[in-house]
Amino acid sequence: MERFEYANPTTVKDATELLGATWADAQVLAGGTDLISLMKDYVVSPKRVVNIKGIAELGKITPGTAGTQIGATVSLDDLTSNRAVRAAYPSLVTAALGITSPQIRNMGTVGGDLCQRPRCWYFRQGYGLLAMKDGKSLVPNGENLYHAIFGGGPAYFVSPSSLGPALIALGAQIKISSPTATRTVGADKFFVNPQSADMREVDLKPNEIVTAIVIPPGVTKNATYEVRQKEALDWPLATASVALKMTGTKIASARVVLGHVAPTPWVAAGAEKWLAGKSIDEATAEAAGAAAVEGAKPLSQNEYKVQLAKVAVKRALLAAAGKAV
């Protein structure tokens, strides 16, 4: 890790002012579960690290009529222990508990989960988000076992966020502050599929921080299903989060979002459309899964992820409907 200077501000204003005009100037430290490793591997070498855990207002979960606000530095453990969150957003809780290391859940934060960098091993070895070497992506003919099946390139990493798919399905908004302004962006717009090497995979500027996530009320049923090989700490191979607005036993509208299959959480619009007006049973869920993976373009080693995404959608829907998976 390169040397850096360190600041521990107590206000959002201070924190954003300590950030820089470029990513190389400063990085935000919250849980540290990703940043410290990125720095050890020289993937990022900021000149300054700004710890935002000292900002009290970012550490709170605030229920309200306009929805539940979750501060950016709320730990994953606090998130999953919160009674209101557990009752209303099982999809979020399942996703957070899918990180099967208590240590990570204690350290890792909600904001950090959204802003963590991809685990793509080409990225981690210094080849950038597009994994380019000599003008060519290393991924399509390389070791792409864990890479994207959606998105169409030129980036093939998968978004590592556990909470992202659930938050998009729940219609969450993300609050962002810079030294001079605050703004709110839909969770579905927050994640970006970079089209060039200088783009970032999230909609954040170097001097901005995520301050909170707001989940609107109104979703009745939601669930997440993650396919992972190990029960101990391991990255999922594919996940699906669903949120359903119901009219009686019928789905009025559905959100179906896949995780770990594209450079962003991947909204399965085909499945959403197909589900409208249906009631959930095994056959509907199965068909929704099939609709969700239409148009997938697997790489040389990851065709299996199409099947996993399909099953994840089916099982998430059945779980949302309270049916045994």
Q: State the residues that interact with another protein by CB under 8 A.
A: 1-10, 13-15, 17-18, 20-22, 24-25, 29, 32-33, 36-37, 39-40, 42, 47-49, 51, 53, 77, 100-104, 106-107, 119, 121-122, 125, 133, 138, 141-143, 145-146, 179, 227-235, 237, 301-304, 307-308, 311
Closest to another protein by CB, 138 or 256? 138
Closest to another protein by CB, 1 or 66? 1
Question: Using alpha carbons only, what angle is made at residue 200 by residues 312 and 29, rounded to the nearest 5 degrees?
Answer: 90
Closest to another protein by CB, 13 or 205? 13
CB 48 within 8 A of CB 18: yes
Q: Report, in Å, the least distance between residue 21 CB and another protein.
A: 6
Closest to another protein by CB, 115 or 170? 115
Q: Report, in Å, the least distance between residue 100 CB and another protein.
A: 4
Closest to another protein by CB, 96 or 219? 96
Q: Report, in Å, the least distance between residue 27 CB and another protein.
A: 12
Closest to another protein by CB, 205 or 245? 205
DSSP strand E in the chain: where?
A: 5-7, 26-29, 48-51, 61-62, 68-71, 132-133, 136-137, 173-177, 182-186, 209-215, 221-227, 238-247, 250-259, 266-267
CB 88 within 8 A of CB 68: yes
Distance CA(99)–CA(89), nearest Å, equals: 17
Residue in the structure block whose two tokens are 């521990």: 8
Number of H helices, E strands in the chain: 13, 14
Closest to another protein by CB, 107 or 296? 107
Angle between helices 304-320 and 282-292 (to 10 degrees): 140
Q: Report, in Å, the least distance between residue 277 CB and another protein.
A: 26
Q: Distances in Å between the alpha carbon of 263 and those of 31, 116, 120, 161?
A: 22, 12, 10, 10
Q: Report, in Å, the least distance between residue 106 CB and another protein.
A: 4
**In terms of DSSP H, where are the helices of the chain?**
12-18, 35-40, 76-81, 83-88, 90-97, 102-107, 110-115, 121-122, 164-169, 187-190, 269-275, 282-292, 304-320
Q: Report, in Å, the least distance between residue 270 CB and another protein.
A: 20
Closest to another protein by CB, 120 or 187? 120
Q: Report, in Å, the least distance between residue 148 CB and another protein.
A: 15
Residue 141 CA to its chain's centroid (Å): 26
Other CB atoms within a 10 A radius of the CB of residue 311 amount to 19
Q: Report, in Å, the least distance between residue 102 CB and another protein.
A: 5
